[in-house]
């Protein structure tokens, strides 16, 4: 059974930093494309950053230059380093894993989410 467990969320002042972690189990982590999404109150869930199995990170425009996604295949963990946080970054952040299924495509798994609140 696949599990994704996020941690590292919390309350931070504008301009501050946080590092989110997502530890996975029950899957071959190094084969998975990993990503972070977020959902603000009353808004749709949107992708924030992604890092494929073979590297090459990509970012949504609102966070480009401020957030960095990375992965440690030895620890089955993906990270999201968030700098210069703004009130608009307030949301629940979700880790996702896209597990390849051969000819069947991919199977997506989601974590339970971690709250990030940016406020003075």
Q: What DSSP assignment string belongs to 11-48? A: EE-TT--EEEEEEEESS-GGGSEEEEEEE-TTS--EEE
Average of pLDDT values for 69-92?
A: 97
pLDDT of residue 64: 97
CA distance 85 to 69: 15
pLDDT of residue 108: 94
pLDDT of residue 55: 79
Over residues 11-55, the pLDDT tens digits come to 999 999 999 999 999 999 999 999 999 999 999 999 999 999 987
Considering the chain, what is the average pLDDT of its residues? Answer: 96
Q: What are the strands, taking DSSP E only, across 55-120?
A: 58-59, 67-72, 77-82, 91-100, 106-110, 114-118
């Amino acid at each position: 059974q696949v599990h994704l467990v996020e941690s590292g969320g919390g309350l931070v002042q504008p301009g501050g930093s946080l590092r989110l972690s997502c530890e996975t189990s029950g899957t071959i982590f190094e084969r998975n494309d990993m990503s972070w999404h977020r959902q603000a109150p009353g808004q749709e869930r949107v992708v924030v950053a992604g890092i494929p199995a073979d590297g090459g990170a990509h970012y949504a425009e609102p966070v480009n230059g401020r957030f960095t996604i990375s992965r440690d295949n030895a620890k089955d963990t993906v990270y999201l380093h968030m700098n210069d946080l703004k009130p608009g970054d307030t949301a629940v952040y979700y880790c996702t894993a896209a597990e390849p299924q051969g000819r069947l495509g991919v199977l997506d798994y989601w974590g339970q989410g971690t709250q990030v609140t940016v406020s003075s």
